Amino acid sequence: MVNILVTGGAGFIGSHVVDILIERGHNVKVLDDLSGGFIENVNQKAEFIKGSILDKALVEQTVQGIDIIYHLAAYAAEGLSHNVRKFNYTNNLIGSINLINAAIKNKIKRFVFTSSIAVYGTSHGNPPFKEEDLKLPEDPYGIAKYAVELDLESAYKKFGLEFTILRPYNVYGERQFIGDPYRNVFGIFMNRIMQSKKPKIFGDGNQKRAFTYIGDVAPAIVNAGFSEEAKNEIINIGGGKVYTVNEIAEEILLSMSSNLTKEYMPPRYEVKHAWCDNSKATKMLGYEDKTSLKEGVSKMALWAKSKGHMNPIIWEGYELDSNLPEFWQNLNKEYPESGFRIRIGD
Ligand SMILES: NC(=O)c1ccc[n+]([C@@H]2O[C@H](COP(=O)([O-])OP(=O)(O)OC[C@H]3O[C@@H](n4cnc5c(N)ncnc54)[C@H](O)[C@@H]3O)[C@@H](O)[C@H]2O)c1
């Protein structure tokens, strides 16, 4: 039995990671500020601490006695990160550094960090991206993730903190926060369909992505904390089959037995095609694409329908209002009853 801290363990991916760790007999603490996660996601056998990775004293206290850290806490809204730059860097970069400092002081055995496919950007050519490809992130979210990756490599060289860096992509499934209108295309579409609103697509919908079912990826993330082979490695982790956003929308409409049609919006600034070579994850972490898109979407749809639609959580203001996609500018009008996220960091 190992003592483990999972940051972001009330969130989508983190809560599944916690469940598996507990199933495997470990002692698990969860640190989460519930800004994007839910207490009902947290396994009752875990010790839950409500708080932020920005609270340095709390982080230092929480890390005491821990052997392995899985660091998943982040605000993962890639497209919106351009307009909430300071919030993004504070939460996702400075928060991570608090944790890395505490990990070094407490001689943590392994620091598992969920980075992102966003570190690649598009500049080096066509996908599938390989781990050693050029990293040129194009948005503040990807830049923060890449900075943490570099910091972990440097912390290993200077202090011996062992790490495994994972680069997941487009994960979907049960417990995804479907009320966030800025991220998670599966959740956004399902939440809209349950309110009889058409799924809205940026651009022509021919953007290509590989998608990853949570039940396939969570066990492989857990393995990253224990695998000798994965020590100090950087590993892409996620689905191998590629779909267009149009195909995804069709599959979701079908799984929700909806007669709605797709609606198109002007394209936004985003990577056109993005997926990864996942052979290293298959070899080192036992990652397997077991779940077909049809099966995964229908499991998620069943769960979403059992929960019902969620009022979107909309930012009260942005740090920068310019170049914000029109859809996001008009969210308040479209969802007058929505909850508001308080902007921080000014
Ligand atoms: N979902 C994906 O497709 C995907 C892809 C690549 C990388 N990732 C990364 O995986 C991790 C988990 O993503 P997710 O999809 O489960 O998102 P999520 O929002 O469901 O989970 C993140 C959790 O972190 C918590 N959190 C955020 N800021 C915090 C803070 N300052 N202190 C404490 N807790 C905080 C939130 O409350 C939430 O529970 C993130 O680091 C994300 O960047 C996700």
pLDDT along the chain (346 residues), means of 10: 97 98 98 95 98 98 98 93 94 98 98 95 78 93 98 98 96 94 90 92 89 97 98 96 94 95 83 83 96 96 94 84 82 73 52
Residue 10 near ligand 1, beta carbon < 6 Å:
yes
DSSP 8-state secondary structure symbol assigned to residue 127: S
Rounded distance from Cα 94 to ligand 1 centre (Å): 15
Cα–Cα dist 247/340, whole Å:
31
Asked whether 11 and 37 are in contact (CB, 8 A), the reply is yes
Cα–Cα dist 300/44, whole Å:
22
User: According to the model, what pLDDT value does residue 269 have?
Assistant: 67
**Residue found under tokens 């996908």:** 127
Other beta carbons within 10 angstroms of residue 343's beta carbon come to 14
Supply 30's token pair.
């969860």
Rounded distance from Cα 260 to ligand 1 centre (Å): 30
From 5, 7, 13, mutation site for ligand 1 pocket: most ligand atoms within 8 A of C-beta? 13
From the CA of 76, give the closest atom in ligand 1. Answer: 43
SS3 157: helix
Q: Whose CA is nearest to atom 1 of ligand 1?
A: 171
- Phi then psi for residue 110, to 5 deg, are -150, 135
From 7, 15, 17, 35, mutation site for ligand 1 pocket: most ligand atoms within 8 A of C-beta? 35
Rounded distance from Cα 75 to ligand 1 centre (Å): 6
Q: Is 141 a catalytic residue?
A: yes
Of 176, 134, 311, 161, give the one whose Cα is nearest residue 231.
161
Residue 179 near ligand 1, beta carbon < 6 Å:
no
Q: Exposure of 40 by Cβ count < 10 A (0-12 exposed, 13-18 middle, 19+ buried)?
A: exposed
Residue 49 near ligand 1, beta carbon < 6 Å:
no
Distances (CA, A) of 298 to 15, 186, 212, 213, 248: 20, 11, 14, 11, 12
Rounded distance from Cα 180 to ligand 1 centre (Å): 12
Domain ranges of the chain: 3-171+211-237, 177-209+242-271+293-341
Q: Which of 70, 75, 141, 172 is catalytic?
A: 141
Rounded distance from Cα 77 to ligand 1 centre (Å): 9
CB-side exposure of 17: number of CA atoms within 13 Å?
30
User: According to the model, what pLDDT value does residue 345 have?
Assistant: 43
User: According to the model, what pLDDT value does residue 124 have?
Assistant: 62
Please state which architecture CATH assigns to domain 3-171+211-237: 3-Layer(aba) Sandwich (3.40)
pTM for the structure as a whole: 0.95
- Phi then psi for residue 130, to 5 deg, are -105, 155
Q: Residues of 247-281 as b/e, b for ≥16 C-beta within 10 angstroms?
A: bbbebbbebbebeeebeeeeeeeebeebbbebebb
Q: Whose CA is nearest to atom 12 of ligand 1?
A: 72
CATH of 177-209+242-271+293-341, picked from 3.90.25.10, 3.40.50.1000, 3.50.50.60, 3.90.550.10, is: 3.90.25.10
From the CA of 145, give the closest atom in ligand 1. Answer: 43
User: According to the model, what pLDDT value does residue 202 have?
Assistant: 87
Rounded distance from Cα 70 to ligand 1 centre (Å): 11
Residue 328 near ligand 1, beta carbon < 6 Å:
no
